[in-house]
Every structure is written in structure tokens, then in C-alpha cells.
């Protein structure tokens, strides 16, 4: 490397940096650029020197560079020791991306000059070794078997896939390596892609890994993208990868290219400055891949298409809950495979429990989502107190290593369900006999949040409806209930006060916005508070049987509304506008004081 640096230093002494000379109007003129190598985010200065009046000219146009004239001035230049009057034009050159650029001459016969732009973390090759620590040596490697240099030795693509047969739907990790000669390959114009429609290339890393390698005596920058490959049908396939590049294609002979490949960047740049870049796509050598169909023998009924190696576990929280209050059952599935096909309905039906549809979330542990953990969460509500057992959960998948279907099952979970002390538990009290002996039916309880804050005192055992956060809507009803003594008057019994109208306006706004959760929660709270004041009994003692006994057929509609309040929170049920209007009519009638 010393002789290269010495040669470059001699060139710098013989001519200005980035020298380009031309004869314009029988007068000597030339251009220089300093520095000739900058980092992205910096600017270089293009200096035009003329020894006569320079005709008007346009700033150059180069893709990726922005030119801005700074100033013009008169002065002297020195040639062979003699001071000669000259005119100077200074132009600021700002790059927009990294690469090697060729700037055309500004005078009629000027030669192009070169500018190299590098990323900020790349070392400066023009700093003498004595001024900075020696860079680590670039490892020398051989091209993988079957890989060939393309674009006249400037680039290559290598696709690394499994050597074993894979199964339809199975997700397997793959790597795509793209090797580039710096200064010759100016840009990568997109993510690499697989050739063919029989495979999918999922979740390729947007930022590739970068390393430098010495291949056949030349330094290459190797970019590696990680992704996951999946086959859509069985068969024997030929698979390759493609990468779009912009390359300066040299017209040198093979012998000259062999010599040039061993030159350092300052001399190599001069060979490529006058070459226009070309867009092209290079392709890896083809690889054979066998795809097998999933066997039908022994396939479980609950098989969802999951292929890989998985582990399962489950838990429930809280372990102690009051009747009518929710707990969350979780199923954890971790391992490696096609997590997009990992599904579980968990528990569709369970005696003495109210079940809701499960929701899932996935947390990857690698860059492409091949490894990680998927968690399913299902809300459950116990309908009666006592020691309750939640049965184990089963998950079926196909293991490509053992080549058979496997079932994983979690152990049962025991929870303690206590008698509800507070919270307006219509569900918990649904099993109790009503005052008139009618048989209780149904479930109409609204639910509190899945993860309530820890209770610190007996004061926190107050019913949900009496807590500060839920008193906004009921407070407006206090004005109505305070005047309930006037209900004996027929006109007042059916009059809707302004306070009630404000409550109804809030409900109407939630209905127009499609916010079923807010609508039904507010409706449920308003109705239970109204019934509690009207019947002179605590809200938590209002049961399904009580509603039907006092309201008759209207009680069934109220029960249905309370069930919807529960489902809106846990099942994200969104009824249409017609349903909202129906419930608004029911609520308006109850707030107006309809007779039982």
C-alpha cells in the first residue's frame, strides 16, 4: 500500500486535486475540487480558474449532487513560478447519497473530475498510517460454491437455503448475500427478491448486515439480508435471488481489468470517472429445493397448519376471583416455525363459566419472525363460587424434524371463586332464588376491567357504580332521582328532565360515533342506578330474576342490554345504528319513569 500512497502523492504534486484542464476561447482554464473524498453530510468546493473572460455557463447537473455558486473573484495563479492574472468561481457541491460521482467539465473541452462520497462510519484512506491506528485487515475468503462474479467482476448474489426438503407452508430462514465493488457499484436499488411465484419471501430485513471481504484479491462490501422462505405447493423447484444495482460498466479489456482490480481507489477512480452508470439486475445461481406435501394420515382435527417445533404453557390471573368477575386465561406457544399459522380457539364452551373469543399477540426473538412466542388471551367469568378447575389446553402442529404430527397439552389450572361482595354482580346472583320464587335465568352482568388495581383497604370494596370514576353519568341522574317523590303525578311520571336529556345526548353521541363500549357501559350504569333508587335496594342486589319480576317483558330487553354491555367490552361487538336507536328508546322510557 505504500507505493500506492506515494504514487497518489506524486499525482497531487504534479496537478491540483481533481484536475481537469481545457482550452476555452484560446485561453487556459481548469477546474479543481477539494476535497476529492467527503463524508455524507459534508460539502466539497468546486473551483473554476480562468485566465481570460469566461463566457456564461450553466451549473452542472449530476444525479445525487446539488451545485450552488458561492462567489466570483479576481486574483493571480502561479504557473512555472510566474504570477498570472486569473478569475475564480467557487461552487459548493453537496451530495444527497453515498457513491462515486463524475462531474462534467464546465468549459467546452474540460475533462470530467471525480468525487467520492462515503458514509460517516467509513475510514478515510488518505490519512497517513502514522496519523491513525491501522485498520483491521480485510478477511480473505473464497466465493461460495457455484457463485460467480457478474457485472464484469463488480458484483455477485448468493442465496443460502436449506439443503433438506421442506413442507408446504413451512417457514424456513434464508439469507441473501449481495457483494459489491465500492466505486464501481454506485447503488443498490431495492431489496433482493426471489425469482418465481411458487414461494414467498417474508419479512426481509430492511437494514442488511454489512461486512468487508477480500475476494480474488479485491475488496468487496457484502450486504446480507435475512428472511423467511415458504412454499405454496409441493414439487421440485429451481430457486434463485435477484438484486437491482447501478454499476459503472468498464470497457477495459480483461487484462486491463485484472490490473485495475488491484489499484487503490484514487487510481481506480480515474478509470471509471468517464463511464456512465447503468441500471441492471444480477441473479444468483439456481438452487434445487424439494417441497413435500403435509401428510394426511394422523392429522389432528384441530390442526391449524402450524409447522415447526413448539412448546406450550398456560396460566390464569388472578388465581382468586369473585363470582361474576373476570380472569384472564393465557396460552403461551413458543419455539420456531410459521407463527402466522399458529392459531387456537382455546375454550369454546366451559360449564359454569362465561367464555369470550381469544385474542393473540406475537413477540419475535429474531429479525424475521421465525423464532418467538405467541400468546393467546381469553377472558373467563365464573358463574358460581367454589374451587373451579379450568381444563388444560391442547395445541397440534407438524414437526418437520420428526416428520409427524404432535400434540402439546397444558395441565389443568385450579382457581378459587369467592362469593361476590361488591360490583353489581347480576351473573353471580343469577343462581339465587328471586323474592317471588321465580327460577333465575340468563346472564346480564356488566364487567369490570380485566386487570383491576390491587385493593389496599376495605374502602376499595365499594361497588363499581359508587366509585369516583363512574359517577360522571350517574351524577346527572341524581337530579331526576331526587324528584322521584313527584312520580305520583301522571305528568311528572312521564316527563324527561333536562338532566336526563343530557344523559341521553351523551348516549346519542356515543351511538353516532359507533363507540359501543362507552354507550353500553354508560347505559348499564344509568339503568342500575335508576332501578336501585326506584326500588330502594342496593344495585349489587339486583338480579336477573328481580328485573323480570318487576319489569315483566321489558326486563328481558334490559337483561339483553346488560349482556351487550358485557360483550362490547370483551368481544368488541359493534351493533349497527338500528340497534343503538332501539336501546336509546328503551333507556329513554326507563329514565322517564315508565310504570313497572
Question: Any idea what the CATH number is for the domain that residue 322 is in?
Answer: 2.60.40
Q: Are residues 265 and 385 in the same domain?
A: no
pLDDT digit of tens for each residue in the chain (596 aa)? 444 444 444 444 444 433 333 333 434 577 888 888 888 888 999 888 877 766 666 788 888 899 988 888 777 666 655 557 778 888 899 998 888 888 887 766 677 888 888 887 665 555 544 455 556 777 778 888 888 888 878 899 999 988 889 999 898 989 999 999 887 888 888 888 888 777 888 777 778 888 988 887 788 889 998 988 888 889 999 889 999 998 877 655 556 655 655 554 445 555 555 566 788 899 998 888 999 999 999 999 989 999 999 999 999 999 898 887 889 999 999 999 999 999 998 888 888 888 888 999 999 998 888 999 999 999 999 888 889 899 999 999 999 999 999 999 999 999 999 875 444 444 433 433 333 444 444 433 433 344 444 444 434 444 444 444 444 445 444 444 444 444 444 444 444 466 677 778 888 888 888 777 788 888 888 888 888 888 888 877 777 777 778 888 787 788 778 777 766 666 554 544 447 778 888 888 877 765 44
Output the pLDDT for position 125.
Answer: 53
Does 426 reside within a domain? no
Q: Are residues 285 and 183 in the same domain?
A: yes
Q: Are residues 174 and 286 in the same domain?
A: yes
Output the pLDDT for position 337.
Answer: 93
For residue 37, count other CB atoms closer than 10 A to its CB.
21
Q: Are residues 108 and 166 in the same domain?
A: no
Grid cell, residue 268, equals 481506480
Does 165 reside within a domain? yes
Place of cell 414439487: 235
Note whether 379 and 450 are within 8 A (CB): yes
Does 463 reside within a domain? yes
Output the pLDDT for position 568.
Answer: 67
CA distance 233 to 51: 73
Domain that holds residue 393: 310-418
**For residues 370-385, b (16+ Cβ closer than 10 Å) or e, as one string?**
bbbbbebebbbbbbbb
Output the pLDDT for position 117.
Answer: 87
Output the pLDDT for position 556.
Answer: 79
Q: Are residues 474 and 565 in the same domain?
A: yes
CA distance 124 to 132: 10
Does 523 reside within a domain? yes
Number of domains in the chain: 4
CA distance 477 to 465: 13
**Which of 292, 319, 341 is the C-terminal boundary of a domain?**
292
Q: Are residues 318 and 396 in the same domain?
A: yes
Does 143 reside within a domain? no
Does 175 reside within a domain? yes
Q: Are residues 345 and 261 in the same domain?
A: no
> Could you please report the per-residue DSSP string of 160-179?
E--SS-EETT-EEEEEEEEE
Q: Are residues 260 and 328 in the same domain?
A: no
Output the pLDDT for position 59.
Answer: 84
Q: Are residues 126 and 28 in the same domain?
A: yes
Q: Are residues 9 and 121 in the same domain?
A: yes
Does 427 reside within a domain? no
Output the pLDDT for position 28.
Answer: 57
Phi, psi dihedral angles at 30 (to 5 degrees)? -150, 170
Does 447 reside within a domain? no
Q: Are residues 473 and 548 in the same domain?
A: yes
Note whether 138 and 213 are within 8 A (CB): yes
Q: Are residues 360 and 241 in the same domain?
A: no
CA distance 90 to 72: 6
Residue among 40, 41, 52, 45 at smallest CA distance from 17: 45
Output the pLDDT for position 99.
Answer: 83
**Which of 418, 450, 482 is the C-terminal boundary of a domain?**
418
Output the pLDDT for position 536.
Answer: 82
**Which of 361, 386, 418 is the C-terminal boundary of a domain?**
418
Amino acid at each position: 500500500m505504500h507505493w500506492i500512497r506515494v504514487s497518489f502523492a506524486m499525482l497531487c504534486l504534479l496537478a491540483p486535486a481533481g484536475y481537469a484542464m481545457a482550452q476555452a476561447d484560446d485561453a487556459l482554464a481548469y477546474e479543481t475540487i477539494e476535497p476529492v473524498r467527503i463524508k455524507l453530510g459534508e460539502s466539497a468546493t468546486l473551483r473554476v480558474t480562468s485566465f481570460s473572460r469566461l463566457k456564461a455557463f450553466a451549473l452542472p447537473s449530476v444525479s445525487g449532487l446539488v451545485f450552488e455558486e458561492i462567489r466570483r473573484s479576481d486574483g493571480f495563479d502561479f504557473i512555472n513560478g510566474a504570477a498570472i492574472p486569473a478569475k475564480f468561481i467557487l461552487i459548493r457541491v453537496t451530495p444527497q447519497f453515498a457513491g462515486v460521482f463524475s462531474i462534467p467539465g464546465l468549459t467546452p473541452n474540460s475533462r470530467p473530475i471525480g468525487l467520492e462520497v462515503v458514509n460517516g462510519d467509513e475510514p478515510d484512506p488518505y490519512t497517513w498510517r502514522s496519523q491513525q491506528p491501522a485498520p483491521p485487515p480485510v478477511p480473505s475468503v473464497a466465493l461460495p460454491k457455484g457463485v460467480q462474479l457478474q457485472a464484469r467482476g463488480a458484483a455477485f448474489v448468493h442465496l443460502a437455503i436449506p439443503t433438506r426438503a421442506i413442507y408446504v407452508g413451512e417457514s424456513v430462514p434464508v439469507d441473501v448475500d449481495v457483494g459489491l465493488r465500492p466505486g464501481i457499484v454506485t447503488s443498490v436499488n431495492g431489496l433482493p427478491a426471489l425469482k418465481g411465484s411458487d414461494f414467498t419471501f417474508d419479512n426481509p430485513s430492511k437494514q442488511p448486515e454489512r461486512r468487508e471481504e477480500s475476494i480474488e484479491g479485491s475488496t468487496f462490501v457484502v450486504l446480507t439480508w435475512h428472511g423467511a422462505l415458504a412454499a405454496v405447493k409441493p414439487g421440485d423447484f429451481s430457486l434463485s435471488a435477484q438484486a437491482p444495482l447501478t454499476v459503472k460498466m468498464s470497457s477495459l479489456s480483461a487484462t486491463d481489468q485484472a490490473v485495475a482490480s488491484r489499484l487503490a481507489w484514487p487510481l481506480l477512480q480515474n478509470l471509471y470517472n468517464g463511464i456512465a452508470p447503468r441500471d441492471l439486475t444480477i441473479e444468483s445461481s439456481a438452487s434445487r429445493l424439494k417441497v413435500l406435501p403435509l401428510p394426511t394420515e394422523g392429522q389432528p382435527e384441530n390442526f391449524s397448519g402450524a409447522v415447526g417445533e413448539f412448546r406450550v404453557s398456560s396460566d390464569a390471573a388472578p388465581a382468586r376471583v369473585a363470582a361474576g368477575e373476570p380472569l384472564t386465561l393465557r396460552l403461551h406457544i413458543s419455539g420456531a416455525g410459521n407463527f402466522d399459522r399458529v392459531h387456537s380457539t382455546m375454550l369454546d364452551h366451559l360449564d359454569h363459566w362465561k367464555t369470550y373469543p381469544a385474542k393473540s399477540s406475537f413477540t419475535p426473538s429474531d429479525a424475521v419472525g421465525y423464532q418467538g412466542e405467541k400468546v393467546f388471551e381469553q377472558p373467563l367469568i365464573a358463574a358460581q363460587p367454589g374451587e373451579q378447575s379450568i381444563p388444560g389446553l391442547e395445541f397440534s402442529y407438524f414437526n418437520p424434524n420428526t416428520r409427524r404430527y404432535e400434540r402439546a397439552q397444558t395441565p389443568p389450572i385450579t382457581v378459587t371463586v369467592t362469593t361476590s361482595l361488591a360490583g353489581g354482580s347480576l351473573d353471580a346472583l343469577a343462581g339465587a332464588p328471586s323474592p317471588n320464587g321465580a327460577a333465575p335465568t340468563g346472564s346480564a352482568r356488566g364487567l369490570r376491567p380485566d386487570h383491576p388495581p390491587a385493593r389496599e383497604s376495605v374502602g376499595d370494596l365499594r361497588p363499581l357504580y359508587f366509585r369516583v370514576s363512574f359517577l360522571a353519568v350517574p351524577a346527572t341522574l341524581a337530579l331526576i332521582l331526587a324528584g322521584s317523590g313527584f312520580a305520583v303525578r301522571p305528568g311528572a311520571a312521564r316527563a324527561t328532565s333536562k338532566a336526563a336529556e343530557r344523559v341521553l345526548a351523551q348516549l346519542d353521541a356515543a351511538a353516532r360515533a359507533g363507540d359501543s363500549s362507552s354507550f353500553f357501559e354508560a347505559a348499564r350504569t344509568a339503568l342500575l342506578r335508576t332501578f336501585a333508587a326506584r326500588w330502594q335496594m342496593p344495585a349489587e342486589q339486583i338480579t336477573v330474576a328481580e328485573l323480570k319480576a318487576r319489569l315483566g317483558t321489558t326486563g328481558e330487553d334490559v337483561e339483553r342490554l346488560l349482556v351487550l354491555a358485557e360483550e362490547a367490552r370483551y368481544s368488541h361487538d359493534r351493533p349497527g345504528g338500528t340497534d343503538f336507536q332501539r336501546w336509546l328508546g328503551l333507556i329513554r322510557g326507563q329514565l322517564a319513569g315508565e310504570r313497572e
